[in-house]
Structure 1
Amino acid sequence: MRGKRIWKGLLLCLLVVGPMIAEAIDLDKAAERVQKKIDGRVLGGKSVTEDGRTVHVIRVLTPDGRVVHIRVDQETGRILNPSATER
């Protein structure tokens, strides 16, 4: 009986915490995500710390010749400045 409770507790933890862990992305994945989102060429990127969290900053050359910096949250993979992806 006790063993079943432990397994249920572990399963519950995985259901709650699992998606948060699975969403964390590295710099290469962030660059891939930005490449799919914006029409342009990825020039490079770096990881920086902002307000205690890691943010990937990806530099992209747009078709009209502009260089834009797209910020991606490492923990969630979310683009933090979506207006920079608009044409």
Structure 2
Amino acid sequence: MGIVKGRVVTRTGSPVPNATVRGNVGGLMGGFVTSKTDREGRFVLNYSGVGRLEYVSVEGGERENNVASGSDLTLYK
């Protein structure tokens, strides 16, 4: 089981609530996992398997490639 957590913020550091964050699981199992940010901009992605997500992105914003389980990200929108 993998987990990636983090926050979505504006360039000025303000939280972005209700943003959609998407992770590409890839590999043999394939597929995507999604999460909505809370009012503080926080999100958690839980996925099956071990290892990395091919990428994590926020709709209309930044994308982070090759994300390891256990990562704590800050994505900008």
The alignment's TM-score, normalised by the length of structure 1, stands at 0.27
The structure with higher relative contact order (CA 8 Å, sep 6+) is 2
Q: Counting helix residues as a fraction of each chain, which structure ranks higher?
A: 1
